[in-house]
Amino acid sequence: MIGHKLLLNAGDQDSRVLPVIYTNRRYKVEFSSPLEFEPDALTKTVDSVVLETQLAQHYIVEMINCVSHEVVYSYEVGNSRKNKIVPCAGRSQPKGCYQLWFTILDKNPIEKLANPSKKSTAKIIFLLAGMFLVFAYGLWLLLRKRKVKPNANLIQLGEFQFDKLNMTLVMKEKKIELTSKESDLLLLLHDSVNTTVAKEIILQSVWGDEGDYVGRTLDVFISKLRKKLEFDPKLKILNVRGVGYKLVIGD
Protein backbone atom coordinates (compact mmCIF):
# COMPACT_ATOMS: atom_id res chain seq x y z
CA MET A 1 0.00 0.00 0.00
CA ILE A 2 2.83 2.39 0.87
CA GLY A 3 4.67 1.62 -2.39
CA HIS A 4 1.49 2.02 -4.42
CA LYS A 5 0.71 5.43 -2.93
CA LEU A 6 4.30 6.66 -3.36
CA LEU A 7 4.12 5.85 -7.07
CA LEU A 8 0.80 7.66 -7.41
CA ASN A 9 2.24 10.71 -5.60
CA ALA A 10 5.06 10.72 -8.16
CA GLY A 11 2.50 10.65 -11.00
CA ASP A 12 3.50 7.09 -11.97
CA GLN A 13 0.54 4.83 -12.73
CA ASP A 14 2.42 2.22 -14.75
CA SER A 15 5.39 1.02 -12.67
CA ARG A 16 5.06 -1.96 -10.32
CA VAL A 17 5.81 -2.40 -6.65
CA LEU A 18 8.05 -5.46 -6.45
CA PRO A 19 7.38 -8.25 -3.89
CA VAL A 20 8.03 -6.99 -0.36
CA ILE A 21 10.85 -8.74 1.55
CA TYR A 22 10.62 -9.16 5.36
CA THR A 23 13.67 -9.89 7.55
CA ASN A 24 14.20 -9.23 11.26
CA ARG A 25 11.31 -6.81 11.68
CA ARG A 26 12.38 -4.92 8.55
CA TYR A 27 10.31 -4.66 5.38
CA LYS A 28 12.05 -3.82 2.10
CA VAL A 29 9.90 -2.18 -0.60
CA GLU A 30 11.36 -1.95 -4.12
CA PHE A 31 10.08 -0.49 -7.37
CA SER A 32 10.37 -1.60 -11.01
CA SER A 33 11.27 1.91 -12.20
CA PRO A 34 13.23 4.94 -10.92
CA LEU A 35 11.32 7.02 -8.38
CA GLU A 36 11.25 10.70 -7.38
CA PHE A 37 9.92 11.70 -3.94
CA GLU A 38 9.51 14.62 -1.56
CA PRO A 39 10.20 14.07 2.17
CA ASP A 40 6.95 15.66 3.35
CA ALA A 41 4.88 13.59 0.90
CA LEU A 42 6.81 10.46 1.93
CA THR A 43 6.18 10.96 5.66
CA LYS A 44 2.49 11.78 5.15
CA THR A 45 1.99 8.71 2.96
CA VAL A 46 3.78 6.26 5.25
CA ASP A 47 2.32 7.62 8.49
CA SER A 48 -1.25 7.64 7.13
CA VAL A 49 -1.03 4.00 6.01
CA VAL A 50 0.55 2.93 9.32
CA LEU A 51 -2.16 4.77 11.25
CA GLU A 52 -5.01 3.28 9.19
CA THR A 53 -3.70 -0.28 9.39
CA GLN A 54 -2.31 0.00 12.95
CA LEU A 55 0.84 -1.64 11.65
CA ALA A 56 3.11 -0.16 14.30
CA GLN A 57 3.50 2.67 16.83
CA HIS A 58 7.27 2.84 16.92
CA TYR A 59 9.11 2.53 13.61
CA ILE A 60 11.89 3.83 11.38
CA VAL A 61 11.54 4.70 7.68
CA GLU A 62 14.63 4.82 5.45
CA MET A 63 15.03 5.58 1.76
CA ILE A 64 18.21 3.94 0.49
CA ASN A 65 19.91 4.48 -2.87
CA CYS A 66 20.06 1.12 -4.71
CA VAL A 67 23.44 1.90 -6.30
CA SER A 68 25.43 3.57 -3.52
CA HIS A 69 23.47 1.87 -0.69
CA GLU A 70 23.51 5.19 1.16
CA VAL A 71 20.58 6.40 3.25
CA VAL A 72 19.31 9.48 1.41
CA TYR A 73 16.47 10.17 3.83
CA SER A 74 15.15 8.65 7.07
CA TYR A 75 13.01 9.43 10.11
CA GLU A 76 11.71 7.72 13.24
CA VAL A 77 8.25 7.71 14.79
CA GLY A 78 7.70 6.68 18.43
CA ASN A 79 5.27 6.98 21.30
CA SER A 80 7.09 9.98 22.75
CA ARG A 81 7.47 11.87 19.48
CA LYS A 82 5.86 15.28 19.65
CA ASN A 83 7.90 17.14 17.06
CA LYS A 84 5.98 17.17 13.78
CA ILE A 85 8.59 19.14 11.83
CA VAL A 86 9.65 17.25 8.70
CA PRO A 87 13.34 17.79 7.81
CA CYS A 88 14.00 18.87 4.21
CA ALA A 89 10.26 19.33 3.60
CA GLY A 90 9.55 20.45 0.05
CA ARG A 91 12.99 19.47 -1.20
CA SER A 92 12.44 16.84 -3.92
CA GLN A 93 14.90 14.01 -4.14
CA PRO A 94 16.17 13.41 -7.70
CA LYS A 95 14.68 10.54 -9.66
CA GLY A 96 16.66 7.37 -9.09
CA CYS A 97 16.62 3.80 -7.86
CA TYR A 98 15.43 3.73 -4.23
CA GLN A 99 14.52 1.08 -1.68
CA LEU A 100 12.17 1.90 1.17
CA TRP A 101 13.05 0.13 4.43
CA PHE A 102 10.39 0.03 7.13
CA THR A 103 11.65 -1.16 10.54
CA ILE A 104 9.21 -1.98 13.34
CA LEU A 105 10.54 -1.14 16.82
CA ASP A 106 7.45 -2.17 18.85
CA LYS A 107 8.14 -4.84 21.49
CA ASN A 108 5.63 -7.40 20.18
CA PRO A 109 4.90 -6.53 16.55
CA ILE A 110 4.25 -10.09 15.42
CA GLU A 111 1.65 -10.74 18.11
CA LYS A 112 0.02 -7.45 17.33
CA LEU A 113 -0.21 -8.22 13.63
CA ALA A 114 -1.41 -11.77 14.26
CA ASN A 115 -4.35 -10.55 16.37
CA PRO A 116 -5.65 -7.37 14.73
CA SER A 117 -8.78 -5.76 16.04
CA LYS A 118 -12.02 -6.09 14.11
CA LYS A 119 -11.88 -2.37 13.38
CA SER A 120 -8.40 -2.67 11.95
CA THR A 121 -9.38 -5.69 9.85
CA ALA A 122 -12.36 -3.82 8.43
CA LYS A 123 -10.12 -0.88 7.50
CA ILE A 124 -7.64 -3.16 5.77
CA ILE A 125 -10.41 -4.89 3.80
CA PHE A 126 -11.86 -1.52 2.84
CA LEU A 127 -8.48 -0.25 1.66
CA LEU A 128 -7.79 -3.42 -0.33
CA ALA A 129 -11.21 -3.21 -1.95
CA GLY A 130 -10.52 0.40 -2.90
CA MET A 131 -7.15 -0.52 -4.42
CA PHE A 132 -8.80 -3.33 -6.39
CA LEU A 133 -11.40 -0.93 -7.80
CA VAL A 134 -8.67 1.52 -8.82
CA PHE A 135 -6.74 -1.32 -10.50
CA ALA A 136 -9.86 -2.62 -12.27
CA TYR A 137 -10.69 0.87 -13.56
CA GLY A 138 -7.13 1.35 -14.82
CA LEU A 139 -7.25 -2.03 -16.57
CA TRP A 140 -10.58 -1.13 -18.19
CA LEU A 141 -9.09 2.14 -19.51
CA LEU A 142 -6.07 0.27 -20.86
CA LEU A 143 -8.21 -2.31 -22.67
CA ARG A 144 -10.40 0.46 -24.03
CA LYS A 145 -7.34 2.15 -25.54
CA ARG A 146 -6.25 -1.12 -27.07
CA LYS A 147 -9.64 -1.81 -28.64
CA VAL A 148 -9.21 -3.68 -31.90
CA LYS A 149 -9.36 -1.40 -34.91
CA PRO A 150 -11.78 -2.28 -37.73
CA ASN A 151 -10.33 -4.35 -40.57
CA ALA A 152 -9.81 -1.92 -43.44
CA ASN A 153 -10.00 -4.82 -45.94
CA LEU A 154 -13.60 -5.67 -45.02
CA ILE A 155 -16.43 -3.84 -46.79
CA GLN A 156 -20.08 -4.22 -45.80
CA LEU A 157 -21.88 -4.92 -49.05
CA GLY A 158 -25.57 -5.39 -48.30
CA GLU A 159 -25.83 -8.67 -46.38
CA PHE A 160 -22.33 -9.65 -47.53
CA GLN A 161 -18.95 -8.83 -46.10
CA PHE A 162 -16.62 -8.22 -49.01
CA ASP A 163 -13.02 -9.13 -48.15
CA LYS A 164 -11.09 -7.32 -50.87
CA LEU A 165 -7.75 -8.71 -49.68
CA ASN A 166 -8.74 -12.38 -49.71
CA MET A 167 -11.22 -11.87 -52.57
CA THR A 168 -14.23 -13.45 -50.86
CA LEU A 169 -17.88 -12.68 -50.17
CA VAL A 170 -19.15 -13.90 -46.80
CA MET A 171 -22.79 -14.08 -45.67
CA LYS A 172 -23.41 -15.94 -42.39
CA GLU A 173 -22.07 -19.45 -43.05
CA LYS A 174 -21.78 -18.93 -46.82
CA LYS A 175 -18.38 -18.08 -48.32
CA ILE A 176 -18.04 -17.29 -52.03
CA GLU A 177 -14.65 -17.12 -53.73
CA LEU A 178 -13.94 -14.42 -56.31
CA THR A 179 -11.35 -14.29 -59.05
CA SER A 180 -8.94 -11.35 -59.04
CA LYS A 181 -10.81 -9.71 -61.95
CA GLU A 182 -14.18 -10.24 -60.30
CA SER A 183 -12.85 -8.73 -57.09
CA ASP A 184 -11.39 -5.70 -58.91
CA LEU A 185 -14.62 -5.23 -60.86
CA LEU A 186 -16.80 -5.44 -57.73
CA LEU A 187 -14.55 -3.01 -55.85
CA LEU A 188 -14.70 -0.50 -58.72
CA LEU A 189 -18.50 -0.68 -58.87
CA HIS A 190 -18.73 -0.39 -55.07
CA ASP A 191 -16.56 2.73 -55.03
CA SER A 192 -19.14 4.34 -57.34
CA VAL A 193 -22.21 2.67 -55.80
CA ASN A 194 -25.55 3.83 -57.29
CA THR A 195 -23.60 5.65 -60.00
CA THR A 196 -23.09 4.48 -63.57
CA VAL A 197 -19.51 3.57 -64.48
CA ALA A 198 -18.70 3.73 -68.19
CA LYS A 199 -17.56 0.55 -69.95
CA GLU A 200 -14.37 2.25 -71.10
CA ILE A 201 -13.44 3.16 -67.51
CA ILE A 202 -14.20 -0.37 -66.29
CA LEU A 203 -12.10 -2.00 -69.01
CA GLN A 204 -9.19 0.38 -68.44
CA SER A 205 -9.30 0.08 -64.64
CA VAL A 206 -9.72 -3.70 -64.42
CA TRP A 207 -7.89 -4.97 -67.49
CA GLY A 208 -5.70 -1.99 -68.33
CA ASP A 209 -3.33 -2.64 -71.20
CA GLU A 210 -3.38 -6.41 -70.80
CA GLY A 211 -5.33 -6.76 -74.00
CA ASP A 212 -6.90 -10.07 -72.98
CA TYR A 213 -10.48 -8.90 -73.22
CA VAL A 214 -12.49 -9.15 -76.42
CA GLY A 215 -16.07 -8.56 -77.36
CA ARG A 216 -18.36 -9.55 -74.54
CA THR A 217 -15.68 -10.29 -71.90
CA LEU A 218 -17.03 -7.58 -69.58
CA ASP A 219 -20.60 -8.83 -70.00
CA VAL A 220 -19.48 -12.33 -69.00
CA PHE A 221 -17.82 -11.08 -65.80
CA ILE A 222 -20.88 -8.98 -64.95
CA SER A 223 -23.03 -12.06 -65.37
CA LYS A 224 -20.75 -14.07 -63.04
CA LEU A 225 -20.89 -11.38 -60.38
CA ARG A 226 -24.68 -11.18 -60.60
CA LYS A 227 -24.85 -14.92 -60.03
CA LYS A 228 -22.68 -14.68 -56.91
CA LEU A 229 -24.59 -11.70 -55.51
CA GLU A 230 -28.05 -13.18 -56.06
CA PHE A 231 -28.21 -14.47 -52.45
CA ASP A 232 -28.90 -10.85 -51.41
CA PRO A 233 -31.89 -9.55 -53.42
CA LYS A 234 -31.04 -5.95 -52.42
CA LEU A 235 -27.85 -6.06 -54.47
CA LYS A 236 -28.20 -5.50 -58.21
CA ILE A 237 -25.82 -4.71 -61.05
CA LEU A 238 -27.79 -2.78 -63.68
CA ASN A 239 -26.92 -2.37 -67.33
CA VAL A 240 -27.23 1.24 -68.46
CA ARG A 241 -27.66 0.74 -72.19
CA GLY A 242 -24.95 2.30 -74.28
CA VAL A 243 -23.10 3.68 -71.23
CA GLY A 244 -21.98 1.06 -68.72
CA TYR A 245 -22.96 -0.58 -65.43
CA LYS A 246 -23.84 0.48 -61.90
CA LEU A 247 -24.10 -1.33 -58.57
CA VAL A 248 -27.34 -0.59 -56.74
CA ILE A 249 -27.82 -1.27 -53.03
CA GLY A 250 -31.33 -0.78 -51.71
CA ASP A 251 -34.80 -2.21 -51.28
| Model confidence pLDDT, tens digit, residues 206-222 | 888 665 555 578 889 99
pLDDT band at 177 (very low <50, low <70, confident <90, very high): very high
Distance in angstroms (rounded) separating the CA atoms of residues 217 and 46: 81
pLDDT of residue 107: 77
Give span(s): CATH 1.10.10.10, the chain: 154-249
Distance in angstroms (rounded) separating the CA atoms of residues 250 and 84: 77
Report the mean per-residue pLDDT for the chain: 84
| 91 and 38 Cβ atoms separated by less than 8 Å | yes
Distance in angstroms (rounded) separating the CA atoms of residues 67 and 80: 34
Q: Which one is predicted more confidently, 120 or 105? A: 105
Distance in angstroms (rounded) separating the CA atoms of residues 228 and 164: 15
Distance in angstroms (rounded) separating the CA atoms of residues 48 and 57: 12
pLDDT of residue 188: 92
Q: Bin 8: left if φ > 0, else alpha if -120 < ψ < 50, else beta.
A: alpha
- Topology at the third CATH level for domain 154-249: Arc Repressor Mutant, subunit A (1.10.10)
Q: Say which amino acid occupies 201.
A: I
Start-end of H helices in 100-247: 109-114, 118-145, 180-191, 199-206, 217-229
- The enclosing H or E element of 99 equals strand 98-104
